[in-house]
Structure 1
Amino acid sequence: MSARILVVDDIEANRRLLKARLEAQYYTVLLAENGMQALGMAKEEQPDIILLDVMMPGMDGYEVCKRLKADNQTAHIPVVMVTALNDTEDRIRGLDAGAEDFLTKPFEDFALMSRIGALTRYNSVAAELRQRQASGLKDELNENLLQRIRDKPARVFVVDDNPRSSARIADMLRSGGHNAVTLIEAGGLSNLAEQGVDILLLSMLSDRFDALKLCAHFKSNEATRSLSILLLCDPEDQQRAGKGLELGASDVIFSPVDRQELLARVRTQARRARYIDMLRERVDRGLELSIIDQLTGLYNRRFMMNQLESFMRRAVMGGAPVSVMMADIDHFKSVNDTYGHDAGDEVLVEVARRLKSNVRALDVVCRPGGEEFLVIMPETPGDLACAAAERIRQAVAAQPFSVNKGEREISITVSAGVGTILGPDDTVSDLIKRADVALYQAKSSGRNRVENQAA
């Protein structure tokens, strides 16, 4: 999987070297020689990943990273801090600035490519989710979102059959504020998804199990596919570590385990996992907003038309008939004029509730707009649809409606019209018009009644 990578370094030799190493692996490389140039190129070029040198004159890498993460146009781009400094404080400072990862010079090709590969895989998921929700919830952006995922404790399951090393790693994680459980403590690997595990720390040093087989198993199982897997391996075993990354592992950490590096890697994986979860949540919410009427919780006109098209296609191709009931609240304007629009909303919500309580599981209850409701009745001929409509009408009229937060009770009725498919040449428009004509007849005949154009 290729990617466009922006390399930011004030030393030309470093830029050229990184460019050559990345292009040898078929990545597209962009170059910037200072912080201001990097900010402009990031916004204009929208690279997939930024490799950002820390020690630059004028604006250092920390400040560049902060500005990138503060800008809505570039906040989503993963940043890897590249530094010759090996102090823990420098690493933590980079992560605090918003960087997703870090590399300490000099670094081997394996370290560079494993970080790039992990971020590229993460990017492909995140980019797809961002694209799917792009037209929806644009106002809930960075700071609120990042605040919810930043520095939240991770739930880590340590898979290592060595009691001493697994206990040591668990203690490191707990000292960093994370929740850690070892394989020995848990007694097995069952129900990982149900336990709410975020990260699986999988030791490749064990002789009792094949860590790569476990990695492949977890990534092929739908219940555990979304788990982040952090591989613990020997520095001399880079070939197998690379295979683990190909199988879907998110990152690699080498033994002996350094506490600060472990905490930094776990922190990064937890951030990524929660960011993806949040994007999925936003996509799901955006999808819901596109088909659900927010006041009543019923399906909206857009969803209604799509469903009608689908049921009509089946019906005209020889399937079971489909009918619709169109209902309208009687004298609804006077409710709003007399008791206020809040009372009108209460009436709409209660009518929706009574409709949903008096239809079958396969029926689709919709609110096309205003005080109008429509129920799609699949596999229903006209006579049964009329009986169902009468049941709904009676349910609405049976009990008074509580409005103004319970201070008043008023009587509400609905008029309804029923239409059904009559032949293979029928269209959705024909079906809706039939129900609409029947509804007009019900209104003209005194309201609080059902009329039909179902036969």
Structure 2
Amino acid sequence: MTGKVLVIDDLEPNLRLLEAKLKSEYYTVYTATNGYDGIKIAKEKMPDIILLDVMMPQIDGFTTCKKLKEDEQTAGIPIVMVTALTEQEDRVKGLNCGADDFITKPIDEFHLFVRVRSLIRIKELFDELKLRDITYSNFGGSKNFLKSQTEKLNSKIILIDDDVFEIKKIKAALESEGHTLIVFNPDQPLEKIQEHDFDLVIVNTLLDEERALRMSVEIKGMTNKKRVPIIILVDESDKKVMLKGLQIGIDDYVLEPLDINELLARTRTLLRRKKYQDSLRHGIEDSINASVIDQLTKLYNRRYLETHLGTIFEEAKQKKDRIVLLTIDIDNFKKINDRPGWGHSIGDEVLKEVADRIKQCVRDNDLAVRHGGEEFIAVLTNTTVENGTIVAERIRKKIADTPIKISVEPYGIDVTVSIGDAVMRHEGDSPEDLINRSDEMLYKAKTTGKNKVVSEE
């Protein structure tokens, strides 16, 4: 994941150090030496994240943060305050001014990139919600889709810990934010957790790091909890556990000894991300007229694509991002519909399952559409040509590798798809041209053997 980062710091050595670190990971970096210039650049460049020093002349970091968050144009940009290690008061003040997170000096590269990646992911989801809000308004709805995302989050949180003092401290902090905390002792059967609805899990790895990580993986594996974020509490010197946790799918970590403000910042970020993801997955059915939803597959339909793709296209041009469009067609689908004893009801079962598998292979901020009949389209935003091909192949394998269950004998059939892959060109391109090029690639896939992905040269 790459993105655009704005660094605001009045000290030239600090600017250059952060710029070098970020560029080494292929981020585009903008810099400013004071708050006024930082606000100006933020409005001109619309970065994906801002790293903001607290102590600056003219206007300090707190005032700069407040101004950015009060401006509708820049309010959605995540801000990370850069503070001194000992300045607890600065952290509280920064969060109260609207900062999304903070990192301490001297800046550790590992912690820096975890924070940046996590918050850029939030920004991508936020941006997609804004675009869908615009599309919804084009269908006659009011622009209230994002309004619900800024409301106070009153969430249910599971804490797995046996430290009585720490439990009391965490409980008081989270309840002060309006959350409900449910405490589990690590000796309790994990199955008991499934009896609760919850939005986030906090696991203390100091009790037994291997056991804690195993419990986290098991929670992630629960069918109805796959998308629930997990935070681990980990010793500040134990980077091995931090890295292992992130590798196995843990969403974030907070260092011990525990800074309660750090925990609150991470909690807010992950709960907001979950709410954005839930809105992108489910909100459409409640917020957008059923005329833009395919009633069989619950994907968006052709009408929605024709409106929303134009919005996505213009946004990508402004940001100089890439869009990859995949046209996906079920091979030999007519044989399923025409088979005696099967007919369209079995065809519908296949269509629904193919749609579900496509959704499993794309991100929440991508767009999955039933284009008509047995043809689907996936629009992958802010991506690369290489990643587009990887996702296309993932979809193809997801459908081909496991038979699709049906309600009549033989109760399972092999289904394959052919996929055409085209990438947006910034000069002289249009949504219609992109769809046509993808369709041409699909035709090549169909006429050269099927069950394959064909990409633009």
Shorter-normalised TM-score: what interval?
0.5 to 0.7
Partner of 1:353: none
Matched, 1:180 2:184: no
For residues 193-212 of structure 1, the aligned pairs below 5 Å read 195-207=196-208, 210-212=211-213
Letter aligned with residue 71 of structure 1: D
Structure 1 CA distance for aligned equivalents of residues 128 and 198 of structure 2 = 24
Residues 50, 77 of structure 1: 8 Å contact kept: yes
Letter aligned with residue 229 of structure 1: I
Residues 53, 81 of structure 1: 8 Å contact kept: yes
Three-state SS of the structure 2 residue aligned to 1:136 is helix
Structure 2 CA distance for aligned equivalents of residues 19 and 241 of structure 1 = 25
Partner of 1:247: 248
Per the TM alignment, residue 56 of structure 1 is displaced from its structure 2 partner at its CA by 2.1
Three-state SS of the structure 2 residue aligned to 1:26 is coil
Three-state SS of the structure 2 residue aligned to 1:103 is strand
Residues 192, 224 of structure 1: 8 Å contact kept: no
Could you tell me the TM-score, scaled by structure 1's length? 0.57
Three-state SS of the structure 2 residue aligned to 1:214 is helix
Residues 70 and 163 of structure 1, relative CA distance in 2, 3 Å threshold: closer
Residues 160, 184 of structure 2: 8 Å contact kept: yes
Per the TM alignment, residue 237 of structure 1 is displaced from its structure 2 partner at its CA by 0.9
Structure 2 CA distance for aligned equivalents of residues 301 and 255 of structure 1 = 51
Residues 120 and 316 of structure 1, relative CA distance in 2, 3 Å threshold: closer
Per the TM alignment, residue 80 of structure 1 is displaced from its structure 2 partner at its CA by 0.7
Structure 2 CA distance for aligned equivalents of residues 216 and 135 of structure 1 = 38
Residues 68, 75 of structure 1: 8 Å contact kept: yes
Larger Rg: 1
Structure 2 CA distance for aligned equivalents of residues 25 and 301 of structure 1 = 38
Three-state SS of the structure 1 residue aligned to 2:240 is helix
Residues 114, 245 of structure 1: 8 Å contact kept: no
Structure 2 stretches lacking a partner, 5+ long = 294-300, 305-329, 341-347, 349-457
Q: Describe the superposition over 1:300-319 as per-residue Cα deviations: whole angstroms up to 9, x where unpaired.
A: 9969xxxxxx9xx9699747
Three-state SS of the structure 1 residue aligned to 2:289 is helix
For residues 93-132 of structure 1, the aligned pairs below 5 Å read 93-132=93-132
User: Number of paired residues?
Assistant: 315
Three-state SS of the structure 2 residue aligned to 1:244 is helix
Partner of 1:140: 143
Could you tell me the TM-score, scaled by structure 2's length? 0.57
Structure 2 CA distance for aligned equivalents of residues 125 and 193 of structure 1 = 27
Partner of 1:214: 215
Q: Percent identity?
A: 38
Letter aligned with residue 122 of structure 2: Y
Residues 173 and 75 of structure 1, relative CA distance in 2, 3 Å threshold: closer
Structure 2 CA distance for aligned equivalents of residues 39 and 208 of structure 1 = 43
Per the TM alignment, residue 31 of structure 1 is displaced from its structure 2 partner at its CA by 1.3
Q: Describe the superposition over 1:99-140 as per-residue Cα deviations: whole angstroms up to 9, x where unpaired.
A: 211122223222212211222333444444444444114953
For residues 2-81 of structure 1, the aligned pairs below 5 Å read 2-81=2-81
Structure 1 CA distance for aligned equivalents of residues 186 and 220 of structure 2 = 23
Structure 2 CA distance for aligned equivalents of residues 236 and 181 of structure 1 = 28
Residues 133, 146 of structure 2: 8 Å contact kept: no
Partner of 2:157: 156
Matched, 1:190 2:191: yes
Residues 5, 27 of structure 1: 8 Å contact kept: yes
Letter aligned with residue 266 of structure 1: T
For residues 251-330 of structure 1, the aligned pairs below 5 Å read 251-278=252-279, 280=281, 282-285=283-286, 287-291=288-292, 318=338
Letter aligned with residue 248 of structure 2: L
Structure 1 stretches lacking a partner, 5+ long = 293-299, 304-309, 321-361, 363-455
Residues 254, 263 of structure 2: 8 Å contact kept: yes
Per the TM alignment, residue 171 of structure 1 is displaced from its structure 2 partner at its CA by 4.9
Per the TM alignment, residue 58 of structure 1 is displaced from its structure 2 partner at its CA by 2.2
Per the TM alignment, residue 34 of structure 1 is displaced from its structure 2 partner at its CA by 2.2
Per the TM alignment, residue 168 of structure 1 is displaced from its structure 2 partner at its CA by 5.1
Partner of 1:380: none
Three-state SS of the structure 2 residue aligned to 1:16 is helix
Per the TM alignment, residue 200 of structure 1 is displaced from its structure 2 partner at its CA by 0.7
Residues 157, 180 of structure 1: 8 Å contact kept: yes
Residues 316 and 281 of structure 1, relative CA distance in 2, 3 Å threshold: closer
